[in-house]
Amino acid sequence: MPATMKSDPDLGPTAFILFGATGDLAKRLVLPAFYQLAQEGLLPKQWLLVGNGRGDVAHEDFRKHVRDVLSEFGPKPAKKEWKAFAERVFFAGGGFTSDSPGSLLDDLAKAREELGGDPQLVHYLAVPPVAFEELTKALGQHGLAANARVVYEKPFGTSPESFRRLDRVVHSVLDEQQVYRIDHFLGKEATQDLHTLRFANGLFDAMWNRQHVESVQIDVPEKLGITDRSVFYDATGAVLDMLVTHLFQVAAEVAMEPPASLGALDLQAAREKVIKSFRPIDPAEVVLGQFTGYRKVPGVAAKSGQNTFVAARLWIDNPRWRGVPFYLRTGKRLAETRQRVSLVLREPAGQLSGQGNVLSFSLAGDGEIDLSLVAKKPGPGFDLDHGAASLPLSGLRGADPLPPYVRLIHDALIGDRSLYTRPDGLAAAWKAVTPLLTNPPPVASYAPGSWGPAGARKLIAPGRWLLGQ
């Protein structure tokens, strides 16, 4: 490798096998993240990337595909850097099933010879969820599961029943410590600061409970529509795509009890334990919506009743949070694109009551922490106003922020599961959302560019959404 592409000295020889290597997810997220790891010097000294798919693609053609992907989505490779990267990239065609391994076994045999010894295998399943079971069985059938790490994209199951079935299949082939279920919201820099700010600062740790927090808002509106993945979205909707995955995981990050340590196992345990305290969602405390014009999007069923918006009130039945509503909201074709977690603090008693403070975390980009405070305006009178203090995380000295996929793929390479989900937490999440899935409220229409159905404002009354109001 050239001098600009250093290597992580602590990692041994590694073969990264990317299933679905020519698909949309690999193109937009996985391949750019893997290349950035190379640029950052976070790959092992000895590594190979082996793409897999049903087509019979020559190595050179796959390398050209990867370069085209990077030119479109970045980071755009320089000529010298690309040459060093490309010579480690291969493609194994013919698919991969229990009945037929295609050319993957032959290509991995060559990779083992080139890397020497017994390289660490990291399998990344960038494929639709329907393919997870067969690929998992095939890994076991063809001897590629032993001591390997397997990264599963979300959603890990598309219903409580499919989750349980997939979980049984996975654990028939792999030990739990080999399994990496990705939720990229956990890889965001500011998501990690949800527990860092609290546990490293006694001021915030002391107020992180029902005595001081009036409510919590987790708000992820999106201006984008679903044109690029309409078929997937029409089978999934906002509830399965966002609520039971990203928003539940972020709520757990906010609400978890102090872990025994900040090690992977203890962090996971604390996050998954609090999900078991999520009260099953009452459909009467949920607003579903569909933006006007959704059914005209190519790939969407003409009479689709799928939700593209969800706002829900979540209750956490434990001593710390009992009685504190967590308001979760997300949707497509809304007025803004934001990713924000806000703790609305209780009003103080006494003569200055009615003055609220808010601690917020922007999860977008490199992340930011914002604090809204009440202060006296300078002057002869006693006039109060709200002031805001912001801390962009990228401004911290020596900051080197990593995008979520870069961080999470690196964690899989080094064997750190702290930002990946566990089956007990996922089982509890499916349990909490089951009443909504079995008895959903009506889906209301809303105008593109708005903040969703009017019912979302009623849901949070007499309070208000901090975004868009």
| Partner residues linked to 330 by β-bridges | 220, 310
Our answer to whether residue 246 is catalytic in this structure is yes
Side-chain-side CA neighbours of residue 105 (13 Å): 15
Give the residue from 156, 150, 155 showing the smallest Cα distance to 168: 156
Could you tell me the CA-to-CA distances from 344 to 226, 255, 363 in Å, in that order? 32, 14, 17
Does residue 288 sit in helix, strand or coil? strand
Helix (H) or strand (E) holding 430: helix 423-438
Query: Tokens for 113?
Result: 């010879």
* Strand arrangement, sheet containing 149-152: 89-92, 47-52, 14-19, 120-125, 149-152, 179-181
Closest CA to 433 of 240, 304, 277: 240
d(CA 256, CA 124): 29
Active-site residue among 65, 123, 246, 410? 246
Distance, in Å, from the CA atom of 246 to the CA atom of 254, rounded to the nearest integer, reads 13
Known catalytic residues are 246
